[in-house]
Chain A
Amino acid sequence: MNKRNSVQLVLALVLLVSLGSGVFVEAQVASPPAGSTFEQRLAQRKSEQKISLEEKDATRLSKRCSNAKTTINGLQQKLSETVSNRRKTYETIDAKLWVGIGQHKLAGQDTFALEKQQAIYRQQIDKFNVLSAEYLQTIDDIVVLNCQTDVIGFKALLETSRSYLTQIRAHNEVMRVHVVNNIKPELSNLGQKL
């Protein structure tokens, strides 16, 4: 086997491995338009997720989806309070930053850097509010849906909610890192100059 053939073989193997490992590209979920109905949101999620199920998978899912909906129903009841508490925590930190900025201004310090960090944090809070609202909405839609007659719709909404959960977790970590690595050091820096 000559060199050219061996290179081609290696490339083919790499391609096969990458395809065979089931690399999954998460479907991009978009915010539904404001005021959209349940049917509109369901149609949007179906087109985003492009779910296709084999008959045996569809049958299995239709048998088990009712129990899953019961679990999701319980989650829905706790989730709104959870999200509300988290929003309150983020808003409290933001309010404290505002007060701190005012106090440092009164002390005659340049607070431009801290204000910039606070502005970024404010945008992060707004994004969290959007993500958590859409997560809650998707969960509500799952609870409303008749999963046994629309298994594809159930699967699409479930995948959408999983996507939002992943995004929320990632975003929370980004916010935490921003506060710890940017805001708190800037506050300490200002405090040391007093």
Chain B
Amino acid sequence: MNPEQQNQQNPQNQPQVFQQGGAPTQPQTMPAVPPALSQNSQQKSKKKLFIVIGAAVSVLVLLLIVVLVFSSSNPEKGVKEVEQTPTSNGPVPATAISTEQLNNSISQDLSGVDDETTFPVDQLSDDALGL
């Protein structure tokens, strides 16, 4: 093949078609941003967003911890709990409910005491011993 035929087959060497006035077929638009640059900036903005969200979440978690710690050490709330159950500081004043609970507890202990089972009257009888 001669060089002229090779040139004709190579599409890069095909002559451009111009309209009247010699303007190219492509319309006049904003200069295009190179693809590499736009991807880079998108990644950067995503990164910034993640950082901001992460910081906000951390702040919220810290606030929550502070609130919980503060509320558990609040003396007003502690007094109510002390009235209900005894703390490690010692006995607490009796209430009508606590007295009733104590009474019921003693009844329960007493109900487990059964001499017919533990000390039956015929435990040492002649029949029981085969005498």
Among A96, A162, A169, point to the contact of B102 (Cβ < 8 A).
Answer: A96
- What's the Cα separation between A75 and B125 when bound, in Å? 13
Q: Which of A85, A161, A169 has the most CB of B within 10 A?
A: A169
Q: What residues of B have a CB within 8 angstroms of the CB of A85 in the complex? A: 118
Q: Which of B92, B110, B112, B128 has the most CB of A within 10 A?
A: B110
Judge if B106 is at the interface, Cβ distance under 8 Å: yes
Judge if A50 is at the interface, Cβ distance under 8 Å: no
- Chain A residue nearest in CB terms to B117: A82
B96 and A194 form a contact (CB under 8 A) = yes
A71 and B130 form a contact (CB under 8 A) = yes
Q: What residues of A have a CB within 8 angstroms of the CB of B29 in the complex? A: none
Q: How many A-B residue pairs have CB under 8 A?
A: 99
- Chain B residue nearest in CB terms to A83: B118
Q: Which of B95, B98, B107, B118 has the most CB of A within 10 A?
A: B118
A191 and B94 form a contact (CB under 8 A) = yes
Judge if B76 is at the interface, Cβ distance under 8 Å: no
- Majority DSSP secondary structure for residues of A touching B: helix
- A108 to chain B minimum Cβ distance, whole angstroms, is 8
Q: What residues of B have a CB within 8 angstroms of the CB of A180 in the complex? A: 110
Judge if B105 is at the interface, Cβ distance under 8 Å: yes
B96 and A64 form a contact (CB under 8 A) = no
- What's the Cα separation between A102 and B93 when bound, in Å? 8
Among B91, B115, B129, point to the contact of A71 (Cβ < 8 A).
Answer: B129
Can you list 17 pairs linking A and B with CB atoms under 8 Å apart?
Answer: A61-B131, A67-B129, A68-B129, A71-B128, A82-B118, A96-B102, A103-B93, A103-B98, A104-B94, A104-B99, A106-B91, A106-B94, A158-B129, A176-B110, A184-B103, A187-B103, A191-B99
A103-B99, A190-B94 are known; give 11 further A-B pairs, CB within 8 A.
A64-B130, A68-B131, A71-B128, A72-B124, A96-B102, A108-B93, A109-B94, A161-B124, A165-B121, A169-B115, A172-B113
* Those 10 A-B pairs whose CB atoms lie nearest each other, nearest first: A191-B99, A103-B94, A68-B129, A107-B93, A106-B93, A102-B91, A104-B94, A194-B96, A107-B94, A82-B118
